[in-house]
A and B are shown apart, each in its own frame.
Chain A
Amino acid sequence: MPEEAIFEDALERRQAAALGMWTFLATEVLLFGALFVAYALNYHLHADAFREAARRLEHLLAGANTAVLLSSSWTMAMAVHSAAAGRRRSLLAYLAATMLLGAAFLGVKAIEYRTEYEHGLFPGRFTWQGPAPARLFFNFYYALTGLHAAHVSAGLAALAWLWLSAFRARLDPRSVAAVENTGLYWHLVDMVWIFLYPMLYLMGRAP
């Protein structure tokens, strides 16, 4: 059955795609959420150690990185807007900006990881003599930020693909929908970070 023939019209088709995408996003929320809840429960068990460990993170760098990711969300929203309005050149520009910001985010994250490696806070090379459950904190930190970084990378791949197809051909309704869906995904990944940032970096900061 050719996919075109399934839906009555473009509106029905778009509604189906939107519902599918949002359902998928709900699964992503739970995928990350399970890890968030696991973290929160362990925080409850080892609050002091977790706070102490959290103070070792580069919270300013991460704050800057949050700004980078929020900016990428804005450029992404503008990209979706441009696509819907049929402005291909501005779509290309905004997509490129989003990719650039996304890559910058990953770059800063890599710098953070390197600092942590040098400070002996890395799994396999954990030399910090902090309170015992501190290692647990760092393991959560790597699991959470790693999973998040994997999602950012997947988003970058999708953006690159969008950019190339928008570069090569004119915009048709299908590619507009693809931009919209990638946008939704990108915003969700941003949203995850919005929660990750205070949860990991800021918990132990207050004196």
Chain B
Amino acid sequence: MKGPGPRVYAAVYAALMALLGVTMALSAVDLGPFGAAAAFSIAAFKAILVALYFMHLRYERGLLAVFASAGFVWLGVLALLAYCDYLTR
């Protein structure tokens, strides 16, 4: 199917590298509990960029997005209910 062109790829690549730099810089600053939150939000954003553009998810049928997110949703279930035990012990 139609994919994005080299310019989009270059832009995404640049964004990914920039975000990597931000992550590394932030890790040296003490943000308390927000440190982890920031690091993982950035990671999630990077992952979404990769999925949408490098992996063309943006240009595909919606069904693929459903299956692509299923893995993450199920992982969320695992994490949620396991934490439900660990946090209340």
Contacts from A to B (Cβ < 8 Å): 14-15, 18-19, 22-23, 25-30, 33-34, 36-37, 40-41, 44-45, 59, 63, 66-67, 70-71, 73-74, 76-78, 80-81, 84, 183-184, 187-188, 190-191, 194-195, 197-199, 202-203, 205-207
Contact = CB atoms under 8 A, between A and B. Distances in A.
Interface in B41-59: 42-43, 46-47, 50-51, 53-55
Interface residues of B, number: 48
Contacts of B10: 74
B12 to A, nearest CB: 8
A140 B6 CA distance: 38
Given A18-B60, A30-B75, A81 B55 contact: no
Interface of B is mostly: helix
B20 A63 contact: yes
A198 B64 contact: no
Contacts, number: 127
Interface string B51-89: 101110000110110011011101100110011001100
Contacts of B67: 19, 22-23, 26
Contact of A191 (B23, B51, B78): B51
B54 A76 contact: yes
A190 B50 contact: yes
A77 B86 contact: no
Contact of B50 (A22, A63, A187, A202): A187
B78 A34 contact: yes
Contacts of B36: 198, 203
B39 to A, nearest CB: 4
A9 to B, nearest CB: 14
Candidate in B3, B16, B36, B78 with the most chain A CB atoms within 10 angstroms:
B16
Contacts of B47: 191, 194-195
A19 to B, nearest CB: 7
A191 B52 CA distance: 12
Given A27-B71, A37-B79, A190-B50, A198 B43 contact: yes
B13 A206 contact: no
A177 to B, nearest CB: 12
A74 B9 contact: yes
Contacts of A74: 9-10, 12-13, 16, 54
